[in-house]
Structure formats: structure tokens, C-alpha cells
Amino acid sequence: MGPQHPSTHGVFRMILTLDGETVVDLKPMFGYLHRGLEKTSEERTYLQAVPFTDRLDYICSMTNNFAYAVAVERLADIEVPPRAEYIRVIMGELTRLINHMLGIGFLFNELGAWYTPVVYAFRERERIMDLFEMASGSRMMCNYIRPGGVAADLPEEFLPHLKKLIPHLKRFVAEIRFYLSENEIFRARSVGVGFLPADMAVANSITGPVLRASGVTYDVRRAEPYSIYDEFEFDIPTQVEGDVYARYAQRLDEMDESLKILSQAVERLPDGEYTSKVPSRLRPPKGESYARIEAPKGELGFYLVSDGSPNPYRWRNRPPSLINLSALREMCLGHKVADVVVIYGSIDVTLADIDR
């Protein structure tokens, strides 16, 4: 199946061995979008590598910037002003909302509800993207969160817009629940399909909503709080079933929690500096750092090695999408070909993040 198949949202190829219509073996093939971002970034300065992180997972460019900024700050011991931390949390949670609504929308595409749910998701996504454009000047490739803070202060009209948007998005999540959760056809296609047991998920290094849908309560925001996530009140929802339906329900629950964090952050957003002074040719001391954050798709990590020069000696990115596919074969075995597409959609991957 693939590399160009109508139901894969990118160029991804699976070699399926079939018995009738039942899957006996599955081998994923990657690399169609490989751009060599790790090597390219090693030849740029630390700041010049920020735009490349936008292109890792183009749906969640803000969280990619966020993870990279945290890694550089740990490497060079840079302080971040409190206002910048709050802005980062706001942007990170807005990105999570975007990603989860698109994930749900595309899952329904794969189930055969061609483009109706995804167009509703795109409508709400545009409202959030308007906010991104206000702050950073760009809808998708934001390049906004930089080492040391953010690129520019929030414009005046940002907060009033966001305050209006939060109750609207709450209504939208409730609307998805109302229309889709009890849908007979959806439940028939998703309940019990693509089961992933918790121990297999942990062993395969699977993270994010897919892991929590299997019943493991693990979220980097709580397990190893970065930025200021320890100051917010939110729950980590989990499901127990570990099937496609649980992953869908997990994303809806996480959207509720993100909205909770957002309303707290908007209330408490302090005044002050939006960035600390960071030289454009940053020379971190010799050493290495590893930073990971809870990106919408899973755990996103950056491993940086510095040799004291303005260029990173090693620039390694731990992609959540690639590693979440580790158990794809085990999840698909014994199911029909049509279910493979649905299981693959429920993991919610971006091909640019897999191949880099």
C-alpha cells in the first residue's frame, strides 16, 4: 500500500502480506521525505536552525520550536522571563488543540466520512491560526519561540481574541462529542480495532495520546515538568481500552484539559520582558543536553552536543511520529486491509516528522 495512497496523508508505504483480506505481515517503508535536517542544522548556527524545526511536524510548528528552545536553553544556561514562559504555554496548548482536531478529522476521512468532519476541524483551526498570524506573522511556519524567549511580544488584540475563542472552542469540542462519539458506524469500525496492550506500548517507546489511550498515565508535563507546567492545574486523562475508539476519546479529553490550561494562562499572564538577551551567534559552553517536551503527537526530544563553536556539533531530534509507528505491525496483524488504514490514522503521524 502506498507510497501514494489516497488514505495516507503523505508518502508512506506499507508492504502488506495478505491472506484473503486478512493482514499476515506488515513492513513500513520510510524515507520518501528525507531532507537531511540533522546534517543541515549542524552547518548552521543555533538560531538559524529554528526555522528547520518548523518543518519537522508542520502541523505543530510551535511545539517544535518550544522543544528546541528548551534544549538550547539547557545547553547554554539561558534564563527565560516569566511572560515568555506564559506565552509559550499558551502557544503550546493552542497547537495541541489544532493537532487533535485535525487528528480526529483525518481519522474520519479514513473511515469514509469524506471531508465533512475535517472541514469543521479546519474551520476552527483557522481561528487559531489567525492568532498565530497575529503573534508571529505566519500561519503555519511560525518560527516564533526562540531560545531565550519568543520572537516578539503579543499584539494588543491577541488576548481579547483568545478570550473570546476559548468558550467557542469548548462548544466545538462538545459538538464533536455530540455528533460523533455515539455514531453507530464509527463505533462499529473502531471499537476493538487495533488493540495495543499497555506493556507493549511502553516497551515500544510509544508516547503521547496513543500511550495514554492504552491506560498508562504518563505525560512529560507532569513526569518531568518543563517550562511552567507545574504551576497549572490540569488532569491527565487516560482510557483503558487501547483501541482506535479509545485514541479518539483520548484526544477529545486532552482538548478539554488544554482549554483548562489556556484559561488559567490567560488569567495570569504577567507583564514584563518577552525575551532575554541572547546573542545571535550564540556560543554555548562545551557539553551536551537532552530536552523533551510533551508535543501533541507524543514526546519530542532534542539532543544537542556543543563543542564551544557557534555551530552545533550534533543536532539530533527524537521524532514522536516515527517511534509511535514501532508497534504498527502488532496492532494490524489479524485485521482486514480496510482496518489498517484506520489504525494508521488513529496513531496520527506526520510524514515530515517521520523522515525529517
Partner 1 sequence: MTNDEILSKLQEAFPQVEFQVQTEETKNFTVIVPAERLVDVATYLRDHLKFDYLSNLASVDYPERFEVVYHLYSMKRGGGVLVLKVLLPDREKPEVDSVTPIWPGANYQEREVYDLMGISFNGHPDLRRIMLWDGFPGHPLRKDFENRTYTFKELEPTRPKPPDW
User: Footprint of partner 1 on this chain (CB under 8 A)?
Assistant: 30-31, 34, 36, 38-39, 43, 74-75, 202-206, 216, 218, 223-224, 286-290, 292, 299, 301, 303, 305, 313-314, 316, 318, 322-323, 325-327, 355-356
H or E element that contains 289 = strand 287-295
Is 17 in a helix, a strand, or coil? Answer: strand
Residue 18 cell numbers, joined: 495478505
Cβ closest to partner 1, residue 198 vs residue 338 = 198
Helices (H), 191-335: 198-203, 209-213, 220-223, 244-268, 320-324, 328-332
Q: Counting beta carbons within 10 angstroms of the beta carbon of residue 247, is it exposed (0 to 12), middle (13 to 18) or buried (19 or more)?
A: buried
Smallest gap from residue 326 Cβ to partner 1 (A): 5
Cell 503550546 locates to: 92
Instruction: Identify the DSSP state of 335.
Output: S
Cβ closest to partner 1, residue 109 vs residue 204 = 204
Cβ closest to partner 1, residue 31 vs residue 137 = 31
Q: Please state, in angstroms and rounded to a whole number, the distance separating the CA atoms of residues 29 and 15.
A: 8
Q: Please state, in angstroms and rounded to a whole number, the distance separating the CA atoms of residues 76 and 284.
A: 5
The distance of Cα 144 from the centroid of its chain, to the nearest Å, equals: 16
Cβ closest to partner 1, residue 61 vs residue 324 = 324
Smallest gap from residue 325 Cβ to partner 1 (A): 7
Smallest gap from residue 205 Cβ to partner 1 (A): 3
Smallest gap from residue 226 Cβ to partner 1 (A): 12
Smallest gap from residue 1 Cβ to partner 1 (A): 14
Q: What is the DSSP string of 81-103?
A: -HHHHHHHHHHHHHHHHHHHHHH
Cβ closest to partner 1, residue 129 vs residue 200 = 200
Q: 193, 333 in Cβ contact below 8 A?
A: no
Residue 203 cell numbers, joined: 516497551
Instruction: Identify the DSSP state of 60.
Output: G
Q: 340, 241 in Cβ contact below 8 A?
A: no
Smallest gap from residue 6 Cβ to partner 1 (A): 21
Cβ closest to partner 1, residue 39 vs residue 277 = 39
Q: Residue 302: phi, psi to the nearest 5?
A: -130, 130
Smallest gap from residue 199 Cβ to partner 1 (A): 9
Q: Please state, in angstroms and rounded to a whole number, the distance separating the CA atoms of residues 329 and 332.
A: 5
Q: Can you list the positions of beta strands (E) in 52-158? A: 145-146, 149-150
Cβ closest to partner 1, residue 36 vs residue 279 = 36
Smallest gap from residue 288 Cβ to partner 1 (A): 5
Cβ closest to partner 1, residue 35 vs residue 168 = 35
H or E element that contains 29 = strand 22-29
Cβ closest to partner 1, residue 320 vs residue 345 = 320
Smallest gap from residue 185 Cβ to partner 1 (A): 34
